[in-house]
C-alpha cells in the first residue's frame, strides 16, 4: 500500500495507525537483522505517535496528509531525546535537545517516526560501508551494497520497512542509493527544505530529501517537509512547492536534453556501464514518444564536478567537524592535557574515511594552498553554474544516469577511495549548482539489479522534474524499461 493510500485509509478510519505500525515493525523484526537498515528502531516514540493519530481520527480531527505513515529517518537528523549518531563513535551517548525542522513537520503531518537509519559516517561515502556500526545491505541482493551515504534509508524503503524515508544529499547521497535500491530519491533545490537540525557535513551542499516507492509518495513527502524556515538562514522564503496536482500534466512539447558528458560516450566522464547507458537512452526515447522534444546538450564543466567537489566538501567538513573535540559532547578519551585529549578523542572517534576528508580539507584550506586548491574549486563551481544556466536556456530539463553502475559487492571499492568517489560523478553537479534532481527506477541491469535514471532541472523546478518523472514511472510500470 502506498503512503498516500495508507494515509487516506487512516484518515477515513478504515485502518488503525497502530495496526499499520505493528505490520511494519514485524517486517523489521523479520529481516533487519540481515539488512541492517536501522541504527535504532524507535518503537516507543512510534507507538505514542500512532496512538495520537488514532485518537485524533476518533475525535473527528484530521491528523494530516501523512496520517499513520511510518517514516524512517537518516541518523544525522536531530531527534529530541533520541540518539543521533551520524553512524560515528564520536557522537557516542549524545541525545539532541531539540528536533530538526523536518522532524517537527513530519509530526505535524501525522507521520510516524519508526527509526533512525544507518549511513556512511557523517554522510561521507557511497556504499554505507563506512558506518561505525557495520554496513547496510541491499534488499535485492544482500551480497551487494545499498549505496550511500543514505544507504539505510534507501534499504528501509526498498525492503518495505517504511513507505517513506528521509535522507540527506551532499553529492548524491539520496539519489545514488535510490538508484542502487530501485526506489525514488529526490534532491530538492538548495534551500527548499530546512537544514535546521541536520548535522552538517558540507553546509553549502547539504540538502535533505525524500525516498519513496512512487513519485506521488515522494511528492507528498516533499510538500510536507519543504517550505521556509526562519531558523535556517539559507532557507528560501517561499512555501513548499505544490507537486501532487501537476503530476499528470505530461511532457508534450517539453524540451528535454541529454547531457552529452554523462551519456557514456567519448569525451565525457568514464566508467558509465553500457547497461546503464542503455536504460537511460530507453528513458529518453520514452519521453520523446510521449511528445517531448529531445536533443543532446553539452555541459562541458560537468566532467570537472568530481574534482571540485572533493575539494569543496572536505574543506567545509574540516571546519564543521572541528566542533567534535571531546569536550562539548560525545566521545571523550581522557589524556594528561587538553590537546592530547582532543587528539585522542578524535583519533578514536572518527573512522578512516572521515579522517581522510578532514585532512584533505584542512590541507586545501591551509596557507599557501588555499588559492591553488580551494579557490580554484570555487571557480570551477561557478563555471558549472554558468554551464547549467546556459543549458537551461535551451531545454526545460536534463537527463542522465543516476549512478555509473548497478550495486557492487562489499569490499569491491573500499581499497581505492577514487574508485568509490566516482560513484557520485553523475550526481555531484546538481549539488554544486544547487539545482533539484530526482532518480527514478527504470529497469534493471545485466545483473538483474535496479538502475535509476536522473532528471535534472533549474532552481525551483521541482514541479517540472516530478512531471517528467511520472511519465517515466508510468512507462516502467507498463514494462517499457527492460
How far is residue 221's CA from residue 105's CA, in Å, rounded to a whole number? 10
173 noted as active-site residue: yes
How far is residue 313's CA from residue 377's CA, in Å, rounded to a whole number? 10
DSSP H helices in 127-239: 151-158, 175-181, 215-225
- Cell 542502487, located at residue: 180
Distances (CA, A) of 25 to 29, 70, 156, 468: 6, 10, 12, 34
74 noted as active-site residue: yes
Residues in the chain: 482
Q: Residue 82: which residues within 8 A CB-CB, separation 6 or more?
A: 40, 42, 45, 95, 96, 116
Name the burial class of residue 399, with classes exposed (0-12), middle (13-18) and buried (19+) by CB atoms within 10 angstroms of its CB: buried
DSSP strand pairing (70-74 vs 164-168): parallel
How far is residue 300's CA from residue 289's CA, in Å, rounded to a whole number? 28
Distances (CA, A) of 234 to 64, 109, 196: 27, 23, 10
How far is residue 251's CA from residue 8's CA, in Å, rounded to a whole number? 28
How far is residue 168's CA from residue 248's CA, in Å, rounded to a whole number? 27
Residue 6's H or E segment, with its range, is helix 3-11
Given the residues 87, 173, 301, 439, the one annotated as active site: 173
Given the residues 87, 126, 127, 149, the one annotated as active site: 149
Q: Residue 418: which residues within 8 A CB-CB, separation 6 or more?
A: none
Q: Residue 368: which residues within 8 A CB-CB, separation 6 or more?
A: none
Q: Are 430 and 436 in contact (CB under 8 A)?
A: yes
Coil/strand/helix, residue 240: coil
Is the peptide bond between 279 and the residue preceding it cis, with omega within 30 degrees of 0?
Answer: no
How far is residue 324's CA from residue 350's CA, in Å, rounded to a whole number? 9
Strand ranges for 386-459 from DSSP E = 397-401, 437-444, 450-456
How far is residue 42's CA from residue 426's CA, in Å, rounded to a whole number? 34
The residues carrying an active-site annotation are 74, 149, 173
Amino acid at each position: 500500500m502506498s503512503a498516500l493510500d495508507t494515509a487516506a485509509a487512516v484518515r477515513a478510519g478504515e485502518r488503525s495507525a497502530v495496526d499499520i505500525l505493528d505490520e511494519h515493525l514485524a517486517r523489521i523484526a523479520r529481516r533487519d537483522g540481515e539488512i541492517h537498515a536501522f541504527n535504532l528502531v524507535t518503537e516507543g516514540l512510534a507507538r505514542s505517535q500512532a496512538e495520537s493519530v488514532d485518537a485524533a481520527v476518533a475525535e473527528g480531527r484530521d491528523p494530516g496528509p501523512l496520517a499513520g505513515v511510518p517514516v524512517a529517518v537518516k541518523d544525522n537528523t536531530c531527534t529530541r531525546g533520541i540518539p543521533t549518531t551520524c553512524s560515528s563513535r564520536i557522537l557516542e551517548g549524545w541525545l539532541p535537545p531539540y528536533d530538526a525542522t523536518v522532524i517537527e513537520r513530519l509530526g505535524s503531518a501525522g507521520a510516524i517516526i519508526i527509526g533512525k537509519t544507518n549511513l556512511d559516517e557523517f554522510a561521507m561515502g557511497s556504499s554505507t560501508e563506512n558506518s561505525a556500526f557495520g554496513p547496510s545491505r541491499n534488499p535485492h541482493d544482500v551480497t551487494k551494497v545499498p549505496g550511500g551515504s543514505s544507504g539505510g534509508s534507501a534499504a528501509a524503503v526498498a525492503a518495505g520497512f517504511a513507505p517513506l524515508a528521509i535522507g540527506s544529499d551532499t553529492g548524491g547521497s539520496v539519489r545514488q542509493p535510490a538508484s542502487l535500491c530501485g526506489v525514488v530519491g529526490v534532491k530538492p533545490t538548495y534551500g527548499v527544505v530546512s537544514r535546521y537540525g541536520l548535522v552538517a557535513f558540507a553546509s553549502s551542499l547539504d540538502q535533505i530529501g525524500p525516498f519513496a516507492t512512487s513519485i506521488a509518495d515522494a511528492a507528498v513527502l516533499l510538500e510536507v517537509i519543504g517550505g521556509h524556515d526562519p531558523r535556517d538562514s539559507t532557507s528560501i522564503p517561499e512555501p513548499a512547492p505544490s507537486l501532487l496536482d501537476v503530476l499528470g500534466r505530461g511532457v508534450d512539447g517539453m524540451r528535454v536534453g541529454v547531457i552529452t558528458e554523462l551519456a557514456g560516450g567519448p569525451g565525457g566522464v568514464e566508467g558509465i556501464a553500457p547497461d546503464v547507458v542503455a536504460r537511460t537512452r530507453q528513458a529518453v526515447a520514452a519521453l520523446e514518444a510521449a511528445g517531448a522534444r529531445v536533443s543532446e546538450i553539452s555541459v562541458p564543466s560537468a566532467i570537472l564536478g568530481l574534482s571540485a567537489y572533493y575539494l569543496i566538501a572536505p574543506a567545509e567538513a574540516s571546519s564543521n567537524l572541528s566542533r567534535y573535540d571531546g569536550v562539548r559532547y560525545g566521545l571523550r578519551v581522557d589524556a594528561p592535557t587538553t590537546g592530547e585529549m582532543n587528539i585522542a578523542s578524535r583519533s578514536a572517534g572518527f573512522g578512516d574515511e572521515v579522517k581522510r576528508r578532514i585532512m584533505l580539507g584542512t590541507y586545501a584550506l591551509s596557507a599557501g594552498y588555499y588559492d591553488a586548491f580551494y579557490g580554484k574549486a570555487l571557480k570551477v563551481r561557478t563555471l558549472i553554474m554558468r554551464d547549467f544556466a546556459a543549458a537551461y536556456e535551451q531545454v526545460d530539463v536534463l537527463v542522465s544516469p543516476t549512478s555509473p553502475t548497478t550495486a557492487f559487492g562489499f569490499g569491491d571499492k573500499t581499497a581505492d577511495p577514487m574508485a568509490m568517489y566516482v560513484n557520485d560523478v553523475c550526481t555531484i553537479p546538481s549539488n554544486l549548482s544547487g539545482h533539484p534532481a530526482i532518480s527514478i527506477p527504470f529497469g534493471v541491469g545485466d545483473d538483474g539489479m535496479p538502475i535509476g535514471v536522473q532528471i535534472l532541472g533549474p532552481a525551483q523546478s521541482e514541479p517540472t522534474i516530478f512531471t517528467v518523472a511520472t511519465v517515466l514511472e508510468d512507462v516502467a510500470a507498463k514494462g517499457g524499461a527492460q
